Amino acid sequence: MYKYLGREVGLLALSFAASMAFAADAPTLSPEAKSASGKIYFERCAGCHGMLRKGATGKNLEPAWSRKEADGRLTEGGTQKLGQSRLEKIISYGTEGGMPNFDDILSKDEIKNMAAYIQMSPDAPPEWSLKDIHGTWKLHVPVDQRPTRKMNNVNLNNIFSVTLRDAGEVALIDGDTKQIWGIVKTGYAVHISRLSLSGRYIHVVGRDGRLDMIDLWFEKPTVVATVKAGMETRSVETSKAKGFEDKYVIVGSYWPPQYTILDGMTLEPLKNVSTRGVTVDGDYHQEPRVASIVASTTKPEFLVSVKETGMVKMVDYSDLTNLRETTINTAKFLHDGGYDATKRYFLVAANASNKVAVVDVKEGKFTALVDTAKIPHPGRGANIVHPKYGPVWATSHLGADVITLIGTDPEKYPQHAWKVVQELKNHGANSLFVKTHPKSDNLWADSPLNPDPKLAGSVTVYRVSELGNPDPQPEVIDIAAAANLGKTKGIQRVVQGEYNQNGDEIWYSVWTGNKTEPSAIVVIDDKTRKVKTVIKDKRLVTPTGKFNVFNTQHDVY
């Protein structure tokens, strides 16, 4: 025992000595340059590498780190070991593992300062308690002062909530007329929009932790409540079980690592729960961030994916005083996910583990871990009926140029359930989203983070009815060229297809990553795959995510 303890102390001493040696060589920045680099890190890097820089989907970016391997060896590394020149090249040109290039987004000085910044010790971000959250809550329009009927003639089912990332806004675009109905000021880099079950309220959450509740019944879309749920947030969902329609909203934070339950009509903070704890490997983690959240439609439960621990929390919200969690072990690091077509099974990408985890929502149990190609990134995925394998769920990948199809029907197709039944060729790796619609015969995939401008600006589309053929061939469409934006400094990245309510149009954003350059939304006729409309407006500043009201409200994907 003493020998064991002595060895552990020796390893710690070596690790400490190494970190001190690195620290002595740490670069410096002026206060202004450090502050600017910190802001860029938060906006562009923390989502993959963590606020504490300990890594998840992205690599560990601490100045010096060490870990004990299973065989007892001590492995060391860190940004200081990589050095300034190597870091600048990585930031500029990206990596094959899925990190995008930033040479078209950041200036040379910003890249140089960022390389220096991540060699410096990370600053400890503040905590954010329920009391802190409550202090930010603003009820702009009380419930009894809101309209009792719809005050506009807009087809709300076909409204698109479009993230204007760098403007800190969302655009509400009429899917029928293709006109902007309203622009709403929100937080920075809205990550997602989610609908209340009634379809009346859009909840948009940004990376700066701000949540806005937009009422669609006014003559123009109006923010009726606002709250800051954390320092960085990525997910929001509303209660959908019978008897709890629109009653609660849940927000998941990256920092602090926690989820918060709010009143569904006012956003008043009600319950705050930390996700810090032990991982599926048995190690304690201080930054287990909340990734995707879905709401059960049959039980009063939210399914909360905790990234670093590799656990799905089934949160029973029927009694907030006696809150109950069912914890399901899956795999690290959980990220995006969605339902199968029946909404019984939740499939979520454990992207850094190259797996997709499956949870049976009805039984509240772990179902399967499916091995996939590198770094699956599905968004909410796509559900199609394969001519050979029956119902399948699709994901594309950040780290591989394939679209993976997983069988999802254990009753009629048990031989294919929870297995990769087919891999389709994508036009490039670095994909973020796949998309289809129940009324469509198409399956689409983007590749916006690819460093090749031609690949980043194109999409792959397969005909679902042809997937049973021995060698199905896709069509690759250059969406960026169709937008006709002219020459831009930034790569014209085409991202996140979203269908209209009827499933006969798919919308893509053309995003240059720079708010001073033009952007567009390209509307494609789903049947002919031809450009139908290009929406250009100087108010469309860096459009990224798009969320159709009806499809988002009813989990259609």
Q: List the catalytic residues.
A: 45, 48-49, 99, 335, 377
Helix (H, G, I), strand (E, B) or coil at 482: helix
CA distance 110 to 112: 5
Three-class DSSP labels, 519-548: CEEEEEECCCCCEEEEECCCCCCCEEEEEE
Instruction: Answer whether 105's CB lies under 8 Å from 488's CB.
Output: no
Helix (H, G, I), strand (E, B) or coil at 90: helix
Cα 533 to chain center, whole Å? 27
Instruction: Answer whether 105's CB lies under 8 Å from 513's CB.
Output: yes
Edge-to-edge strands of the sheet including 520-525? 493-499, 505-511, 520-525, 531-535
List phi, psi (to 5°) of 442. Answer: -115, 150
Edge-to-edge strands of the sheet including 311-316? 290-295, 301-306, 311-316, 324-329
Both tokens of 418, joined, read: 């929870």
Q: Which residues contact 471 (CB under 8 A, 6 or more apart)?
A: none
Query: Degrees (nearest 5) of the Cα angle 339, 341, 345?
Result: 40
Cα 222 to chain center, whole Å? 25
CA distance 260 to 253: 8
Question: Residue 180: in which H helix or E strand, if any?
Answer: strand 180-185
Count of residues in the chain: 557
Angle (deg, nearest 10), helices 108-117 and 31-40: 90
Question: Residue 456: in which H helix or E strand, if any?
Answer: helix 453-456
